[in-house]
Amino acid sequence: MAWLVGLPEVRDSLLWHLAYATNIYFVHIGDWHGSVSHLWSLAVEEQFYLVWPFAIVLTPRRLLLPMLTGVIALAPAFRYYGALTGLHWLAWFVLPFANCDALGLGALLAYASAARWGGVRLYSGLVRTALWIGTPFVLVLWFLELNQLWWPSHVVVPYWVREHRVGLVLRMAD
């Protein structure tokens, strides 16, 4: 529809969007493209789901947990690498490697909830860990937002955390 209306953002990059490569296109041009900027996340998910079934099927069952842990660790490592090497911030926000932590955590929860693989013990351990790590993290973000402070410049945090602070969610709830 946007192409039919003639939006320049769509007309100039239609093939990128049809190929679910919007995120790669944004890195290529080094900027968001207005009315289609939301398509980057769909592209990341599609790219993940193209690779993920092969990763699961080709990984021996005994190595699934280490593989999931490695996938989760890939995102912070990629963002850290991007910060050290001066990679454009958009690359360490919209590329699939930068989003492996969220996608991998979802896969880890699915793994843990499957009784024959992870079991109740792994699942409850993950939930406890998430509460012990996540609650202080959210409270710190909330404190920083309320006091209009932010992280020191040498601390590498994901772009979405820096730009879309938890306080934004709290303001929306008001």
Instruction: Give me the pLDDT at residue 73, please.
Output: 93
In this predicted structure, the answer to whether residue 108 has a pLDDT above a threshold of 60 is yes
Q: Which residues touch 134 (CB under 8 Å, ≥6 apart)?
A: none
Calculate mean pLDDT across residues 109-133: 74
Q: What is the pLDDT of residue 21?
A: 92
55 pLDDT above the threshold of 80: yes
Which residue type, as a one-letter code, is found at position 57?
Answer: V
Helix, strand, or coil here: 32? coil
Residue 70: pLDDT band by 50, 70, 90 thresholds?
A: very high
Tell me how far apart the alpha carbons of residues 90 and 98 are, in angstroms, rounded to a whole number. Answer: 10
Tell whether the model's pLDDT for residue 136 goes beyond 70. Answer: yes
Radius of gyration of the chain (CA): 19
pLDDT of residue 147: 66
Kindly tell me if the per-residue pLDDT of 78 is higher than 80: yes
- What average pLDDT does this structure show over 123-152? 72
Q: Can you tell me which residue has the tokens 């929306």?
A: 172
DSSP code at position 156: -
Q: For position 87, what pLDDT does the model report?
A: 87
- Tell the burial category of 65 from Cβ atoms under 10 Å away from its Cβ (0-12, 13-18, 19+): middle
Beta carbons within 8 Å of 96's beta carbon, 6+ residues apart: 23, 44, 47, 48
Q: Copy the structure tokens of residue 133.
A: 């790590």
pTM of the shown model: 0.66
Average pLDDT over residues 128-133: 80
Q: Residues in the chain, how many?
A: 174
Stretch 7-21: mean pLDDT, rounded?
79
Of 29, 27, 14, whose CA–CA distance to 1 is shortest? 14
| Token output for 167 | 């306080």
The answer to whether residue 154 scores a pLDDT higher than 50 is no
Mean pLDDT of the chain: 77
pLDDT of residue 167: 40
